[in-house]
Amino acid sequence: MWVPFLGLLVGLLIGTALNIPIPGVWAKYLSIAVLAALDSAFGGIKSIFEERFNAAILLTGFFSNTLMAALLAYLGDQLGVDLYLAAVIAFGVRLFQNLAIIRRELLNIWVEKRRLKKRKRDNSE
């Protein structure tokens, strides 16, 4: 259960430790890539609760989404169209949807557990 959190922690630590100076021009594309990565991660978490988790879909989605998001943003900049906004909106909307689903699922689980406990207590009494 704690392995993904451990992964996130290690990633954050390594990211801080690396301290690679990113040129200002690339910072924007990296931000878009982060957004895509977060979207993939939350999509993965959501799929766990929906009980249709697929590692292949998660990994391919993660890599293709991050790369394509950055690439599209870059392409948009070259074309003079703010394509990165499209990525921000698409990923942002999906991120919030996923978060909402996760929240609801967690709530369901919690409510279910409480009900079960209550029933147990009732039964014991």
Partner 1 sequence: MRFFKNWQLPLAFVLFFTGIMLMLALHAVHGEADSPTQQKNKKLITMVQQQEEELEQLKKSLHDKRESLNKYQKSLSEGKLETEKLQYELDKLLILSGLYPVQGEGISVHLDDNTKGKELAIQKNPDTRIEDFLIHDKHLLYIVYELRAAGAEAISINNQRVIGPTDIRCVGTTIQVNAERLGPPFIIKAIGDPDNLTRALETERSQYNILKMSGFPVKIEKHNNLVIDSYKGSYQFTHAQPKEEE
Under the binding rule (CB under 8 A), the answer on residue 16 touching partner 1 is yes
56 in Cβ contact with 107 (< 8 Å): no
CB of 125 to partner 1, least distance (A): 28
CB of 86 to partner 1, least distance (A): 19
Q: In whole angstroms, what is the distance from residue 56 CA to residue 60 CA? A: 6
70 in Cβ contact with 88 (< 8 Å): no
Q: Which of 24, 78, 79, 122 binds partner 1 (CB under 8 A)?
A: 24
Q: In whole angstroms, what is the distance from residue 14 CA to residue 9 CA? A: 9
Q: Which two tokens stand for residue 1?
A: 């259960």
In the complex with partner 1, the residue whose CB is nearer, 102 or 124, is 102
Under the binding rule (CB under 8 A), the answer on residue 79 touching partner 1 is no
In the complex with partner 1, the residue whose CB is nearer, 30 or 107, is 30
87 in Cβ contact with 73 (< 8 Å): yes
SS3 content of the chain, % helix, strand, coil (to 5): 85, 0, 15
In the complex with partner 1, the residue whose CB is nearer, 26 or 96, is 26
Which of the residues 87 through 106 are near partner 1 (CB under 8 A)? none
Which of the residues 28 through 67 are near partner 1 (CB under 8 A)? 30-31, 33-34, 37-38, 40-41, 44-45, 48, 51, 53, 55, 58-59, 62, 66
